Amino acid sequence: MGEFRYIGKNLPRADAWDKVRGAYAYLADTLPGGVLHGSILFSPHAHALVTDIDTSAAEALPGVTVLTCKDAPETRYNSGEWFPGQNDHPDETVLTGHARHVGDRVALVLARDAKTALEARKRVVVTYRKLPALTDMEEAERGAAALHDDGLSSFPGRIEYGDTGAAFANAAYIERDTITTPKIHHAAMEPHAVLAIPRPEGVLEIQSPCQIVFGVQHAVAAVVPLPLAKIRIVKVPMGGSFGAKQEVVFEPLCAWAAYRMKRAVFINTTREETMLATRTRAATEGIVETALDARGRITARRFDIRMDAGAYLSGSKKVMMAMGKKVPRLYHIPNLIFAARAIRTSTTPAGACRGYGSPQIHAITEIHTDLLCRRLGIDPVAFRRDNLVRPFDEDPSGGANIGNARILDCLEQGVAAFGWEALKTPASIHGGRYRRGAGFALATHGNGYYKTIYHDVSCMSMRLTEDGSVVLRAGVHEMGAAATSAMAQIVAEVTGITPDRITVSEGDTQFGGYDIGCQASRGIFIIGECARLCAVKAVEMLCAETSRLLNAPVTHDARDGGTLRGGDTAIPLGEAVRLIEMKNRTAIEVFVQHQGDRNPASYGAHFADVTVDTMTGLVRVNKYLAVHDIGQAIGRNFVEGQIYGGVQMGIGMALTEELVFDAQGNPGMRNFDKYHLVNAPDMPAVDILLIEKGEEGGPFGAKSIGEIATVPAAPAIVNAVNRALDTAMTRLPLTPARIVEAYNAPRAQRDT
């Protein structure tokens, strides 16, 4: 893409030094004096009615107040809705007398310190009338009226184009599989926390490590009788999210409590509470059928998807529909039916999680694709080569053009770099107890909301200061992926000012520009492009005002620190700003509103080499290659960090991570003692290959990496294990018990 000074380089992130020395202050480290500490009383039952709450013993403690579902507003809202008028089904209240999952919010205990709040919570006596739990999706759909009184058994969605019936009727081959993916915990290091502070002039300020400040503002306005202009949301430092903090879980409750008490209120959670009471990746069960012609070309695909939304709908239907929209953007599929429904169950609610449905749908399609290739004796590389989309194809479902899609480059270069031909044949090791095999999977993801029902707007202002530094007032939400540092690199490339002299602000509904949030992988492609446009506009204004000052044409040299030159005069950038302010009476400050006008696809191909112990069912990943089409890396080390983390999450989805509930809705794991993450000693060395062919509309040709980095990983691992063992496992995760059972099953069962 050309020679850059800062773009594509490995630069330190702005927060690195403070973080490594433990000086980076998170929300729990910065509480104001006099704050009330809130401890939520969560339901211990998966489905129950509250018949009585006795708070007398708790409120006998000094300074304790208990707010219950009897005190709370009955306003229903949808925690996944981030903008007025989206009309997502509202079925949740800040506190409830009808508990619908273990961890549902029944009461809020407020005290002068956290210790007293916890002690008081123990003293609250709640009488419940237990009701039957609905944990199975089929059972829950039949008995939906028992869980909610809105009369809705499920929330259907459909994407359809072409003549699928004719394609299947004329198919040379029809292949069908059922793949299930698990309910997963986000496992961000920082548990959920929120602080609400009543401010002068009737302003209610909520500080939250969230992903969508304006979405939080919208949700809070549903339960607090204040205009949006009086509800200030400030995004504070975050210890990870992966989508867990995209939806508003505790912010409305905390805001309502602070408004009612006229005191600052802080709510913090433990790991157990975060696992039980926040959000999960939705579990799915997907039936996929593929029609093929005699040459092995896809002529049609049909999907029947059930998604476990958990106790409340939240963003599950959006996630479900996002799954369907990815299908025609990877393979050329002339005819498609994607039929799906989100079903509420007596389990922890699902919602946004890294990839927003892409990990689920690509696990379904890529495991199925590998199995159909094996059953029909088709080379999996050749099959994909013949059926993949090509650059600038149109989306047949009506979505945006896929842009400079380099998935074929990912495949071809990945096959060569990984050594697929040498590794594709399974091998026995040590007398046959160990089996070694390789697999791969492909995936796609988006870059914003263009040509969807959601708007895609980012607003920023920039000021060049008198000493030649920069303040970029942006709606960025730094989630740990170095977003603010990447924005600084983009601005530095345009202005010539070094990144360490550029300050990038995060989301603030009162003092920052409007932005719809850190979601839909729009961080670099949309917000980053807004930063670039803002920097370009500032430089143009600087040059115009300097030209007016010198009465001569002026050029700007970004490679010389942004020096301005007019005739024989060279003026350092900071000095030019000072002179312009004094003599032209003008500040170099600009505003840009950027609306996305395209939504290309990012692509990835992951390759895995595994060894499976057939006696214990344990899997070791020996070798891993991640190939990604990202247009252009902004910060190469930041991109690689995203991929490393994405692979770790994908391996967990494939092999270890699953939130399990018994028939009564009781969670099988409440902490990391039983919920098994892939730890550092179990991680393979991950090789990374970046395809950088540029993408129009992105800053310097860049497009997204943060979400897609995890998408192909799980099916790549599953395909490798299945190839190593000659099995056809389709229920994730592939736990040791499931692997041993599948390997030892009779041949006929293994083929089913």
DSSP letter string over 273-327? HHHHHS-EEPEEEEEEEEEE-TTS-EEEEEEEEEEEEESS-TTHHHHHHHHHHHG
> What pLDDT is stored for residue 431 in this prediction?
84
pLDDT score, position 2: 56
pLDDT of 1 reads 44
Backbone angles phi, psi at 275, to 5 degrees: -70, -35
CB 361 within 8 A of CB 412: no
pLDDT one-digit tens code per residue, 565-599 = 998 899 999 999 999 999 999 999 999 999 999 99
| pLDDT value of residue 430 | 83
pLDDT tens-place string over residues 306-347? 999 999 999 999 999 999 999 999 999 999 999 999 999 999
- For residue 581, CA distances in Å to 269, 496, 578, 584, 588 come to 49, 20, 5, 6, 8
Among the residue ranges 33-47, 74-88, 376-390, the one predicted with the least confidence is 74-88
Say which amino acid occupies 571.
I
**pLDDT of res. 256:** 98
Asked if the model's pLDDT at residue 405 lies above 80, the reply is yes
Distance CA 337, CA 701 (A): 34
Q: Residue 325: its pLDDT value, please? A: 97
Instruction: Please compute the mean of the pLDDT values over residues 121-129 and round it to a whole number.
Output: 98
Nearest to 62 by CA among 114, 107, 111: 111
670-705 tens-digit pLDDT: 999 999 999 999 999 999 999 999 999 999 999 999
Both structure tokens of 734: 């592939």
Q: Which pLDDT value is given to residue 751? A: 56
Provide the token pair at 39: 């401890």
Instruction: Indicate where the chain has its CATH 3.90.1170.50 domain(s).
Output: 34-131+192-268
**Please, are residues 360 and 247 in contact by the beta-carbon 8 Å criterion?**
no
CA distance 522 to 452: 13
The residue to which tokens 């998604």 are assigned: 307
Query: Does residue 241 surpass a pLDDT of 50?
Result: yes
- Could you tell me where the beta strands, DSSP code E, fall in 345-414? 350-351
Q: How confident is the model at residue 282 (pLDDT cuts 50, 70, 90)?
A: very high
Amino acid 145: pLDDT: 87
Cα 505 from Cα 511, distance rounded (Å):
10
Model pLDDT, residue 238: 95
For the stretch 167-223, pLDDT in tens is: 999 999 999 999 999 999 999 999 999 999 999 999 999 999 999 999 999 999 999
pLDDT at site 567: 86
- CATH code of the region 280-450+599-751: 3.30.365.10
pLDDT tops 80 at residue 749:
no
**Per-residue pLDDT tens digits for 601-660:** 999 999 999 999 999 999 999 999 999 999 999 999 999 999 999 999 999 999 999 999
Question: In angstroms, rounded to a whole number, what is the distance separating the alpha carbons of residues 559 and 572?
Answer: 12
Rounded to the nearest integer, the mean pLDDT of the chain is 96
Does 132 sit behind a cis peptide bond, omega within 30 degrees of 0 on the bond before it?
Answer: no
Instruction: State yes or no: pLDDT of 752 exceeds 80.
Output: no
Is the pLDDT assigned to residue 95 strictly greater than 80? yes
Residue 290: predicted pLDDT: 98
- Does the domain at 34-131+192-268 match CATH 3.90.1170.50? Answer given as yes
Listed in order, the ranges of the chain carrying CATH 3.30.365.10 are: 16-22+457-595, 280-450+599-751
**pLDDT of 24 over the 50 cut:** yes
16-22+457-595 topology per CATH? Aldehyde Oxidoreductase; domain 4 (3.30.365)
pLDDT of residue 750: 60
Give the model confidence (pLDDT) of 445-459 as tens digits.
Answer: 999 999 998 999 999
Tens digit of pLDDT for each residue in 716-740?
999 999 999 999 999 999 999 999 9
DSSP 635: B
Q: Which amino acid is at 465?
A: T
Helix, strand, coil percentages (3-state) for the chain, rounded to 5, are 35, 25, 40
Which tokens is 417 given? 């770099």
Percent of the chain with pLDDT over 90: 95
DSSP-based three-state secondary structure for 532: helix
